[in-house]
């Protein structure tokens, strides 16, 4: 079972000042910089309410992102009592992008993962791609611009997001510097998530990329945006609209999160010696 296998290696380090044989995951989290013993993951189901996201064949992105997010919550909380999963929304309501980021900061989140579905004019294009914040290029800019368009549903968005245009040079400079403190961890998590979704659900692995997503402007934790598949592609759409496919995707993301946490815990364990 995954959750057991990822936690087992910690006992093999034999570090003298911590009794790892009698420890559980709580001890490992106490080694982190935070004072609490619960690891908090904020899962952000993209879009909601009046913002449906992308739509194909009567399927709305906002419904798929919510379902997958709920399955992630269920999988992790059923198996890991010391990990607290918080959703930025658990029903079909509109939530502004900056409110999602503020929610994550209020929850003192250790990880932030935003869930989305992709779309493209060429219906043959398919697969999973995972983003960290950074300077985008080509098609990645277009994807960031489409996702950032959620702010257009917000009142007074121009005063709230003065750097929202991902095509501007100023936005690039600002965004590229914004999350550098967590960038390597975000990319590490993104790689794990991308690989794990493909492994569990059979989607094509399109790789880890960087672009100027507003929702990733979060200085408080490693943050990634997952485009789980293309709603415009029949095969991806079938995976994303069935319970089985949604659960496979959620399992892939959950496994990757646990893998990331376990690796981080081991690094912290070693560093205290």
- Which residue carries 């993104």 as its tokens? 190
Element (H, E) at 56: strand 55-56
Stretch in the footprint of Zn ion (CB under 5 A) among 105-113, 141-149, 206-214, 249-257: 141-149
Contacts of 83 (CB under 8 A, 6+ apart): 38, 39, 40, 41, 76, 77, 261
Q: Which is nearer to Zn ion, 46 or 222 (CB)?
A: 46
- Interface with Zn ion in residues 170-229 (CB under 5 A): none
Yes or no: say if 261 and 82 are a contact pair by the CB < 8 Å rule: no
Rounded to the nearest 10 degrees, what angle do helices 243-271 and 61-79 cross at? 50
Query: Closest distance between Zn ion and the C-beta of residue 63, in Å?
Result: 12
Contacts of 199 (CB under 8 A, 6+ apart): 252
Q: How many amino acids of this chain bind Zn ion (CB under 5 A)?
A: 4
Query: Closest distance between Zn ion and the C-beta of residue 65, in Å?
Result: 7
Q: Pattern 50-89, binding to Zn ion, x per CB under 5 A?
A: ---x------------------------------------
Yes or no: say if 141 and 166 are a contact pair by the CB < 8 Å rule: yes
Stretch in the footprint of Zn ion (CB under 5 A) among 38-46, 75-83, 124-132, 228-236: 38-46
Q: Which is nearer to Zn ion, 10 or 89 (CB)?
A: 89
Stretch in the footprint of Zn ion (CB under 5 A) among 43-51, 72-80, 103-111, 229-237: 43-51
- Determine if 134 is a binding residue for Zn ion (CB under 5 A): no
Q: Which is nearer to Zn ion, 114 or 196 (CB)?
A: 114
Structural tokens at position 216: 């990733």
- Interface with Zn ion in residues 88-117 (CB under 5 A): 116
- Determine if 44 is a binding residue for Zn ion (CB under 5 A): no
DSSP for 193-210? Answer: HHHHHHHHH---EEEEEE
- Determine if 45 is a binding residue for Zn ion (CB under 5 A): no
Structural tokens at position 51: 């913002």
**Nearest-angstrom CA–CA distance, 51 and 92:** 10
Query: Closest distance between Zn ion and the C-beta of residue 23, in Å?
Result: 40
Structural tokens at position 191: 């790689």
Q: Which is nearer to Zn ion, 116 or 237 (CB)?
A: 116
**Contacting positions for Zn ion (CB under 5 A):** 46, 53, 116, 147
């Amino acid at each position: 079972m995954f959750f057991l296998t990822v936690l087992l290696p910690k006992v093999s380090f034999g570090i003298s000042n911590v009794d790892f044989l009698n420890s559980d995951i709580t001890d490992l989290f106490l080694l982190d910089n935070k004072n609490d013993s619960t690891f908090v993951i904020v899962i952000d189901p993209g879009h909601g309410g009046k913002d449906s996201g992308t739509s194909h064949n009567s399927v709305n992105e906002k419904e798929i992102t919510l379902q997958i997010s709920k399955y992630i919550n269920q999988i992790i909380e059923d198996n890991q009592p010391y990990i607290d999963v918080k959703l930025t929304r658990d029903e079909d309501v509109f939530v502004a992008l900056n409110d999602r980021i503020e929610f994550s900061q209020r929850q003192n989140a250790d990880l932030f993962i935003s869930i989305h579905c992709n779309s493209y004019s060429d219906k043959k294009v398919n697969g999973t791609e995972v983003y960290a914040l950074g300077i985008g290029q080509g098609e990645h800019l277009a994807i960031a611009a489409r996702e950032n368009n959620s702010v257009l549903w917000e009142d007074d968005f121009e005063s709230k997001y003065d750097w929202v245009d991902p095509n501007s040079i100023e936005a690039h400079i600002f965004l590229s510097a914004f999350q550098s403190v967590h960038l390597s961890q975000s990319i590490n998590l993104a790689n794990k998530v991308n690989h794990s979704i493909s492994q569990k659900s059979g989607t094509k692995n399109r790789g880890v990329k960087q672009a100027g997503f507003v929702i990733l402007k979060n200085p408080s934790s490693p943050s990634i945006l997952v485009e789980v598949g293309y709603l415009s592609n029949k095969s991806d759409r079938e995976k994303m609209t069935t319970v089985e496919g949604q659960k496979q995707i959620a399992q892939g993301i959950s496994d990757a999160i646990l893998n990331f946490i376990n690796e981080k815990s081991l690094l912290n364990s070693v560093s205290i010696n």
